[in-house]
Amino acid sequence: MNLLLTGFEPFGGQTINSSEQAARALSGAGLPDINMRIAILPVDRERGPAALLCALDAALPDAVVCLGEAARRTAISIERVAINLLDFRIPDNAGRQYVDEPIAPDGPAAYFTTLPARAMLDAARAAGAPAARSLSAGAFLCNQVFYTLMHELSRRGARIPAGFIHIPQLPEQVAGAEAATASMALDTAVRGLAAALSALRAE
């Protein structure tokens, strides 16, 4: 199976992004029977989705999983729905903040993931990683990339498993915070994601 796996560059004043670390670790380790290609996307309204579309063209994937970091989440979160909305709570890395704008003015309100969410969830949990299903990927870059992915695949008539998974921040990202907040060790996130991606291959 040709898998396109993406992560994001750091944003919001951080120097690392857990999703980039996880994507690089997974690609370094490799997974049986999965030919993995990774792309690290800019946290930028224009350049982020553009980089995803470039990667789609280059990888010709049988499946696409985009990863992003979500502060304060306690589990690997398999996102179920992408919404046609930009409502940034902070500026992107180009310094632009969009409020109440559609991603695709003529696009549908939402798309559901086409990943086998339950099988992936069960696999991540069985591997010892806290995992959950999530009903909102937010309204920032992660949701925008998720929506762009599903919109483009629908436009192309490509019926492949595709979707988005948020992971918590790494312990080192939150260690300095005054108020304790959730995190997950990279090893645990990678173990859970590896199991979830293997379940995807088995589908």
Residue 133 C-beta: closest distance to ligand PCA, Å: 16
- Selected from 19, 113, 148, 169, the binder of ligand PCA by CB under 6 A is 19
Subset of residues 20 to 59 that bind ligand PCA, contact rule: CB under 6 A: 43
Candidate list 3, 5, 6, 17; residue touching ligand PCA; CB under 6 A: 17
**Of 4, 53, 41, which Cα lies nearest the Cα of 26?**
4
- Residue from 49, 68, 161, 192 touching ligand PCA (CB under 6 A): that is 68
Q: Which of 44, 52, 8 is nearest to 153 (CA)?
A: 52
Supply 19's token pair. Answer: 């999703």
CB of residue 32 to ligand PCA, shortest distance in Å: 27
Give, as ranges, the residues between 142 and 161 that touch ligand PCA (CB under 6 A): 142
Strand ordering across the sheet containing 162-167: 35-41, 2-8, 63-69, 162-167, 76-79, 131-134
Q: Is 138 in the site for ligand PCA (CB under 6 A)?
A: yes
- Closest approach of ligand PCA to the CB of residue 7, in Å: 7
Would you count residue 79 as binding ligand PCA (CB under 6 A)?
no
- φ, ψ of residue 119 to 5 degrees: the values are -65, -40
**Nearest-CB residue for ligand PCA:** 142
Strands 63-69 and 110-112: unpaired
Q: Which is nearer to ligand PCA, 18 or 188 (CB)?
A: 18
For residues 96 and 156, which CB has a smaller minimum distance to ligand PCA in the complex? 96
Kindly list the catalytic residues.
79, 142, 166
Is 141:48 a contact under the CB 8 Å cutoff? Answer: yes
Cβ density class 62-88: b for 16+ within 10 Å, e for less: bbbbbbbbbbebebbbbbbbbbbbbeb
Q: Where does this chain bind ligand PCA (CB under 6 A)?
A: 8, 11, 17, 19, 43, 68-70, 138, 140-142
